[in-house]
A and B are shown apart, each in its own frame.
Chain A
């Protein structure tokens, strides 16, 4: 007790007091933990680099009355590619914002920790960051217990598209069955990609072609599902991401 030694991903930092930062970690052992990192805004602090957002490190935290304090830390993986490319950085920040919104403080969640590390790694190696994002969104939903039913029509079992995505029961309804109240049209191809993302995760993701029209369809469904699951209607990093994507 009194201290926590853990691998952790730096999700977010905020300036705090004169030269400190408040750091939100996603720890392997205890889920989301916020701690103060003292003096890290000074050029000579040894801990400056390890508390940069999108850094995986190994940390020692001391538990305080109101705030935990970072005592030591070393870099395990700095995800340099994500810092050196504006679009990848924006995606990385989006992943972090989703994790931050998905988890309450100090509730251990090893699956989310492992999932986001896999996603960041895929982001570094995949040629299509949007595909990585869609796959991450769906697998995060599944990890949190909100897996949509993508196998076949929830009413008649048909597996031929196009479908409606039913937002009340979070699953597919084929076009021969009654149209659900709150729903959105979903092509058979987009449904197949979503199913693949859920069943295979990031495994061999790069061979799964996702043209931009499919990405657009899936992004809309995922955004609705995330809104419901995380109880948040807007993710700030999405705006920046969209402005970059329109540009390129």
Chain B
């Protein structure tokens, strides 16, 4: 179907969203056209505001609306323990658990040699700067349990261990609620290696 130019452009814009194909984009665009003008303005402003006003924490690299994020700004957090994650979204996932009392360091990705992403493209230098303060006792590596996340963890561990800081890696195991018989052999053998006294 041929739409007038402004509508066609809106459809094109929606198609840039993840998981949105041409059909859904059309539906969304027509939905927006039927909204009251002030609602449309509100949505558009919210998007621009979020983009303009979101900063990254100067300490850990987490999303933030000020120079220091809500974790780094919280005096009750244990600043001797840093949890290293790939992405700011991983901080949110960890925070949902409400059990971790330390602080974070967001790397901004994982080592992926074929994509040209090495240590220099990640916030590893900033991590080493933080460690120089001498007050860090443990570094928890919580990068993804896949090939790239594992390589990143190995790399960080290799540069940090000589500093005499304890480096730990989150356990690999079976997802809660799943059946053992469906587990793949890599997950299963890692889970076996990571077993503990019971």
Binding site for B on A (CB under 8 A): 12, 14, 17-18, 43-44, 46, 48-50, 52-54, 74-75, 78, 80, 83-86, 89-90, 93-94, 96-97, 100, 236-237, 239-241, 243
Contact = CB atoms under 8 A, between A and B. Distances in A.
B6 interface: no
A240 B184 contact: no
Contacts, number: 68
Interface in B69-125: 111, 113-116, 118-119
B60 to A, nearest CB: 23
21 contacts: A12-B114, A17-B18, A17-B19, A48-B146, A50-B184, A53-B147, A54-B147, A74-B184, A78-B185, A83-B147, A83-B151, A84-B154, A89-B147, A89-B154, A90-B113, A93-B113, A94-B113, A100-B114, A236-B113, A243-B118, A243-B119
Contacts of B155: 86
Nearest to A78: B186
Contacts of B113: 90, 93-94, 97, 236-237, 239-241
Most A CB atoms within 10 A — which of B18, B19, B113, B175?
A: B113
Interface residues of B, number: 25
A14 B18 CA distance: 14
Given A83-B151, A93-B113, 17 more contacts: A17-B18, A17-B19, A44-B177, A44-B178, A53-B147, A74-B184, A75-B185, A84-B150, A84-B154, A86-B151, A89-B147, A93-B114, A94-B113, A239-B116, A240-B111, A240-B113, A240-B118
A12 B186 CA distance: 18
A96 B114 contact: yes
Interface of B: 18-19, 111, 113-116, 118-119, 146-148, 150-151, 154-155, 158, 175, 177-178, 182, 184-187
Contacts of A96: 114
Given A93-B114, A236-B114, A86 B158 contact: yes
Chain A binding surface, main DSSP class: helix
Contacts of A44: 175, 177-178
A237 B114 contact: yes
Contacts of B150: 83-84
A73 to B, nearest CB: 9
Contacts of A46: 182, 184
Most B CB atoms within 10 A — which of A12, A84, A89, A100?
A: A89
B112 to A, nearest CB: 8
Given A18-B18, A44-B178, A52-B147, A75 B114 contact: no
Most A CB atoms within 10 A — which of B119, B147, B178?
A: B147
Most B CB atoms within 10 A — which of A52, A54, A240?
A: A240
Contacts of A241: 113
Contacts of B187: 49
A237 B112 CA distance: 8
A136 B118 CA distance: 23
A40 to B, nearest CB: 9
Nearest to A10: B147
Contacts of B185: 49, 75, 78
